[in-house]
């Protein structure tokens, strides 16, 4: 049954943007305006409106032109940049007066005025000359402001606070255990780089049922653990933290065997463990590593399985030192992270302020408070980076928060990814940057009389803890409102009992400006349903899967603890199921909280709370401990994502496709929290494969350029000297040698290329070219006879995976071409020739390896293999028609369904469109049975899923390119690769299947493009808007141009339109800027199943 979806509304996602609505069957028509001169609007600097605190020394400027006169274009421009609004008003550009520049450029205009300086305010405006040489009025003024450009601009010191532990949760410890090793050499310094084996028999009572059994273990370096012969897990370098394994299901009454294989990888070596088995009654049984363990250099069959194994030749383990001793020290207890620090300082404002700025970096996350108010509406500041290489600071205009006389500033610090204290699959708890939260701030006050004062972080600040007793990006947040320090961020608060903030070591990364839209709350959801599946267990259904937080409203007695667990699936009994998303975290310790927030009431009336330093992916919230019976009004959902402006809108007459578009947008926003992620719950990682597959639809739907520019810097920071890239970015070291390969790594060259194509951004190649070239050279070093095969390949197909070498080599070829084209753009002819030749050699190797000339098929003949060859441009021209025919047959083989993983899903849809068979792609897109996007809708999905069957995550973006296909195929909006930034583009809507209308809007960097068509009374009606200063090629169905009308006039009388050709049952027109209304008689033509190639 198809799900009925509410309209998607994102109010005030970013400054200057109103409500963005996607509602099925809602259509608008263009209304003609009276003739007006060209106007200049939407001024941006580095892709942002009025950015504050940037550090780009030569920022790029852009603007859009508005006119309802056809054929309007810019012939020249003049930019004025001034140090004050008053000077700008007098048309005095004391920083830069470009004078009149003969150019049609309206974006990527590089500032070339006086050198930028720290904290400099730049006020600017633009005027242009139109096609007739007439000047426009100047635009409304815009501004940008520089941040701190030099290390010497920072005068403060890094501060933090780690109080004596007050965590009341049961700690994970190895108390009483010894580090043990085989008796040889000195295990604290150096022993052979070899494996050693350890055994310990334990006997459990026969008459007492096991309640729980936790094995806590630390090893230097790699340990493989067995219980009664079954491998229960591995632990790598866990001397940096304790690994926990649930072994209850592996134990039995009577004799049991615990066995461990440990490999030393250099320097010190050791094993420490504590097994605690609890029973339904009586005391637990505790087994510790000590001299009672047996150890050996060699093994024989049965050593880890048989309790009767003869280990007479084994020797007693050597007790190296008690846990806590050198060289390992105290192994971190991941469950006893200190509460979130509060930092405060008071200061005076003496005189009339002109402006005040706070420049602040707080790691992992921070909130800035002034005089009792949180500053700004950002969430999870600053953006996530590779902290030992780059740390972002945020600039706030704090002028409105200050008052004459006494003031107080406060900072709350959260752990974030910087101090990830929960062990998980990606080893962030071992990250080289990991440290306790810390902050650095410059608070600069500029007075009207010219005086300047600065307050910085130092050891005069006071520190304490507050109500946030635990926070973690995966686990959630615990908040005890009884511990609130009322008024702590106000000047009158008595902080006599607070300690002095500690001076701490600075992070190793360079400080850089957070030059992208921040994470914000974009929408507040009211629950759709509330149930009580078990007594005292209340289940809220938000009606939509999303990323964000629950917001609790509650009233009760002090000390009442309300637990909110978040997830996206339910058990059959209606309770919350987290199993599909919790494994990578809870697999290390099943008792670890996951996506769970705990609020303890202070008991002073109505209390409203949401977490500060975490976020979750969820549709359901399971609430326990609530005082009384909650109602729908006791919970809200705060939808969080990077606050990117919506620039795209697609809808059509098919509700199923509208629902897929709805789900794609929700998944994309769920998975953009400062970085593009795979999922908002289980991993929250910047998986590169997911990012590259979602990037084009992300650029059609949102102004995402600044966010991608930032993430590309993260990729640059992560690249190893030899060129290798990790599968997740940022990473603490995990993922360079696991699972990624070119299908993932190619996010780097591909997203650079997309920024060039969608935004006309060439600086992206100036910044990243050497790194892109290094990556292609790395692939060349890994190639065997021009073929690359690394990683996962076409992830999560419903059947066999296409050969990895096919998809990998396809990306290798594409990457080489991108580097060649980038080199050409940068004027590097030698490299352009080199990588063009490399691409040609890869193409020859690919066809020699995978193409069968007898069958005109590639590799296994799968949809993925065939479409990969076509999509990546690897098929020789003479073979295209036959290969396309095979692809159509491969779709027919699966009854018109997609039968690929994430890579093939992008290839197939785009290949069929680009090669004249969009009808086949439409059949795929509209299938309601599995596998397919439509089947997800039929099964109640409100976001995109990780796999076609729905067994894993229900909020992944990696299948999201279908939204880009909607724009390209059904709305027909396609950029021209030869004119990047949609300076010239194509409008070629496909009238497919049962569609009777479709509308696409794309607010490009030059302005809004509209393609709006419908079938009505035997007519095909197409409304097109071409932005000022751009041109388009419009393709109309039918070959009789005499029957085409434009705004009720015959085509030959229409201004701004030129007939180019008629072929392939269509008429192609060249169109200048303006709004057009085309009409032509239409008879639907059914495409035959035989393949043909578009000429």
Active-site residues, by number, are 683, 946
How remote is the C-alpha of 404 from its chain's centroid?
42
Gap between the terminal Cα atoms of the chain: 41
Q: Following CA atoms 573, 577, 580, 583 in sequence, which dihedral angle do they give, to the nearest 10 degrees?
A: -130
CB atoms under 10 Å from CB of 676, counted, come to: 27
Length of the chain: 1095
Name which of 85, 62, 199 is nearest 145 in CA terms: 85
- Full DSSP string of 611-624: -SS--EEEEEEEEE
* Residue matched to tokens 């009388």: 1053
Please report how the helices 705-718 and 688-701 are oriented relative to each other, as an axis angle in degrees rounded to 10. Answer: 160
Nearest Cα to Cα of residue 481 among 568, 373, 550, 555: 555
- Taking each helix axis from N to C end, the angle separating 918-925 and 880-893, rounded to the nearest 10 degrees, works out to 20
Contacts of 492 (CB under 8 A, 6+ apart): 406
Element housing 390 (H / E): strand 390-397
Planar angle of CA 83, 86, 87, nearest 5 degrees: 55
HSE toward the beta carbon, residue 880, CA cutoff 13 A: 18
Cα separation, 154 vs 323, in Å, equals 41
Distance, C-alpha 237 to centroid of its chain: 28
The widest CA-to-CA distance across the chain, in whole angstroms, is 102
* Dihedral sign (CA 698, 699, 703, 708): positive
Q: Is the peptide bond before 931 cis (omega within 30 degrees of 0)?
A: yes
Element (H, E) at 991: none
> 402 is written with which tokens?
């200050």
Residues in a beta bridge with 538 = 623
Q: How far is it, in rounded angstroms, from Cα 703 to Cα 705? A: 6
Angular region, 635: left φ>0, alpha ψ -120 to 50, beta rest: beta
- Strands (E) in 448-509, as ranges, are 452-456, 462-465, 468-472, 476-480, 499-500, 502-503
Sole residue written with tokens 């809004």: 1008
Q: Give start and end residues of each alpha helix (H) in 234-301.
A: none
- In degrees rounded to 5, what are phi and psi of residue 938? -60, -30
Residue 191 · residue 269 · CB < 8 Å: yes
Looking up tokens 């302020």, which residue turns up? 353
The C-alpha angle with vertex 692 and arms to 680 and 767, in degrees rounded to 5, equals 110
Interior/surface letters 161-187, b for 16+ CB within 10 angstroms, e for the rest: beeeeeeeeeebbbeebbbbbbeeeeb
Residues with Cβ within 8 Å of residue 942, at least 6 apart in sequence: 3, 5, 543, 544, 545, 619, 662, 663, 666
Q: Which residues in 264-313 belong to E strands, given as ranges?
A: 270-279, 285-288, 294-296
C-alpha 912: how far from chain center: 29
The answer to whether 330 and 323 have CB atoms below 8 angstroms apart is yes
């Amino acid at each position: 049954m198809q799900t009925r979806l509410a309209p998607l509304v994102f109010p005030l996602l970013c400054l200057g943007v109103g409500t963005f609505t996607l509602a099925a069957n809602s259509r608008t028509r263009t209304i003609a305006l009276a003739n007006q001169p060209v106007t200049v609007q939407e001024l941006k600097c580095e892709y942002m409106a009025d950015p504050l605190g940037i550090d780009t020394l030569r920022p790029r400027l852009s603007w859009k032109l508005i006119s309802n006169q056809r054929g309007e274009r810019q012939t020249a421009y003049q930019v004025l940049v001034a140090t004050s609004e008053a000077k700008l008003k007098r048309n005095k550009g004391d920083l830069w007066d470009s004078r009149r520049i003969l150019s049609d450029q309206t974006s990527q205009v590089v500032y070339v005025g006086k050198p930028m300086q720290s904290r400099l305010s730049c006020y600017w405006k633009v005027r242009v000359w139109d096609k007739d040489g007439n000047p426009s009025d100047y635009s409304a003024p815009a501004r940008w402001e520089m941040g701190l450009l030099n290390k010497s601009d920072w005068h403060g010191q890094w501060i933090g606070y780690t109080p004596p532990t007050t965590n009341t949760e049961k700690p994970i410890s190895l108390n009483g255990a010894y580090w043990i090793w085989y008796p040889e050499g000195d295990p604290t310094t150096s022993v052979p780089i070899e494996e050693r084996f350890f055994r310990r028999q334990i006997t459990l009572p026969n008459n007492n049922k096991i309640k729980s059994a936790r094995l806590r273990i630390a090893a230097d370096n790699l340990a493989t653990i067995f219980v009664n012969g079954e491998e229960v897990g591995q632990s790598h370098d866990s001397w940096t933290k304790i690994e926990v394994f649930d072994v209850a299901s592996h134990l039995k009454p009577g004799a049991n065997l615990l066995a461990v294989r440990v490999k030393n990888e250099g320097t010190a070596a050791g094993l420490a463990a504590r097994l605690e088995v609890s029973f339904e009654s009586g005391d637990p049984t505790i087994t510790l590593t000590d001299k009672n363990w047996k150890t050996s250099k060699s093994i024989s069959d049965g050593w880890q399985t048989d309790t009767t194994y003869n280990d007479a030749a084994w020797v007693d383990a050597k007790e190296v030192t008690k846990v806590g001793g050198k060289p390992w020290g105290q192994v971190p207890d991941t469950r006893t992270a200190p509460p979130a620090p509060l930092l405060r300082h008071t200061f005076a404002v003496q005189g009339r302020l002109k402006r005040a700025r706070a420049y602040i970096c707080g790691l992992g996350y921070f909130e800035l408070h002034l005089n009792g108010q949180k500053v700004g509406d950002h969430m999870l500041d600053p953006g996530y980076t590779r902290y030992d290489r780059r740390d972002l600071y945020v600039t706030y205009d704090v002028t409105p928060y200050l008052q004459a006389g006494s003031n107080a500033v406060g900072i709350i610090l959260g752990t974030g990814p910087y101090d990830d204290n929960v062990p998980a699959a990606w080893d962030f708890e071992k990250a080289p940057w990991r440290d306790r939260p810390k902050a650095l701030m410059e608070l600069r006050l500029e007075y009207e009389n010219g005086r300047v004062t600065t307050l910085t972080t130092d050891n005069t600040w006071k520190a304490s803890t507050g109500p946030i007793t635990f926070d973690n990006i995966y686990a959630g947040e615990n908040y005890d409102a009884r511990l609130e320090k009322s008024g702590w961020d106000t000047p009158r608060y008595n902080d006599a009992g607070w300690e002095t903030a500690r001076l701490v070591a600075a992070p190793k990364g360079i400080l850089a400006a957070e030059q992208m839209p921040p994470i914000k709350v974009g929408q507040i959801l009211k629950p759709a349903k509330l149930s009580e599946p078990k007594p005292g267990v209340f289940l809220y259904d938000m009606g939509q899967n999303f990323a964000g937080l629950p917001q609790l409203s509650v009233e009760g007695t002090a000390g009442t603890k309300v637990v909110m667990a978040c997830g996206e699936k339910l058990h059959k009994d209606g309770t919350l199921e987290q199993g599909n998303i919790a494994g990578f975290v809870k697999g290390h310790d099943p008792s670890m909280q996951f996506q769970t927030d705990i609020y303890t009431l202070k008991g002073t009336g109505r209390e409203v709370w949401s977490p500060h330093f975490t976020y979750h992916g969820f549709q359901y919230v399971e609430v326990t401990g609530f005082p009384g019976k909650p109602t729908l009004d006791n919970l809200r959902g705060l939808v969080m994502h990077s606050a990117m402006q919506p620039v795209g809108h697609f809808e059509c007459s098919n509700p199923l496709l509208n629902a897929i578009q709805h789900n794609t947008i929700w998944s994309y926003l769920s998975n953009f929290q400062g970085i593009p992620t795979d999922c908002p719950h289980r991993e929250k990682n910047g998986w590169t494969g997911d990012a590259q597959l979602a990037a084009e639809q992300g650029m059609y739907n949102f102004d995402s350029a600044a966010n991608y520019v930032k993430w590309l810097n993260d990729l640059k920071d992560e690249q190893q000297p030899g060129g290798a890239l990790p599968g997740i970015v940022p990473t603490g070291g995990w993922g360079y040698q696991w699972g990624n390969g070119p299908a993932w790594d190619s996010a780097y060259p591909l997203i650079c290329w997309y920024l060039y194509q969608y935004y006309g951004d060439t600086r992206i190649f100036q910044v990243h070219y050497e790194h892109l070239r290094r990556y292609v050279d790395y692939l060349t070093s890994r190639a065997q006879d021009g073929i690359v095969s690394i990683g996962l390949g076409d992830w999560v197909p419903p059947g066999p995976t296409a050969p990895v070498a096919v998809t990998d080599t396809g990306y290798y070829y594409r990457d080489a071409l991108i580097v060649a084209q980038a080199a050409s753009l940068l004027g590097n002819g030698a490299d352009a020739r080199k990588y063009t030749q490399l691409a040609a050699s890869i193409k020859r190797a690919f066809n020699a390896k995978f193409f069968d000339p007898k069958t005109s098929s590639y590799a296994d003949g799968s949809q993925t293999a065939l479409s990969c060859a076509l999509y990546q441009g690897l098929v020789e021209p003479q073979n295209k028609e036959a290969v396309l025919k095979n692809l159509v047959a491969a779709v027919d083989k699966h009854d018109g369904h997609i039968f690929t993983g994430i890579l093939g899903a992008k290839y197939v849809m785009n290949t069929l469109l680009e090669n004249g068979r969009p009808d086949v792609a439409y059949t795929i897109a509209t299938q309601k049975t599995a596998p397919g996007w439509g089947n997800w809708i039929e099964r109640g999905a409100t976001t995109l899923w990780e796999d076609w069957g729905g067994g894993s995550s229900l909020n992944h973006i990696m299948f999201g390119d279908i939204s880009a296909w909607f724009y390209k195929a059904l709305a027909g909006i396609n950029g021209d690769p030869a004119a990047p930034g949609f300076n010239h583009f194509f409008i070629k809507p496909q009238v497919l299947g049962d569609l009777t209308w479709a509308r696409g809007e794309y607010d490009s960097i030059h302005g809004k493009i509209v393609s709006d068509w419908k079938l009505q009374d035997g007519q095909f009606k197409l409304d097109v808007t071409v932005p000022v200063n751009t041109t388009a090629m419009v393709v109309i169905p039918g070959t009789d141009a005499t029957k085409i009308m434009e705004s009720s006039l015959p085509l030959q009388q229409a201004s701004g339109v030129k007939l180019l050709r008629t072929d392939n049952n269509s008429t192609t027109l060249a169109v200048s800027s303006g709004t057009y209304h085309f009409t032509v008689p239409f008879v639907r033509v059914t495409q035959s199943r035989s393949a043909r190639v578009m000429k």
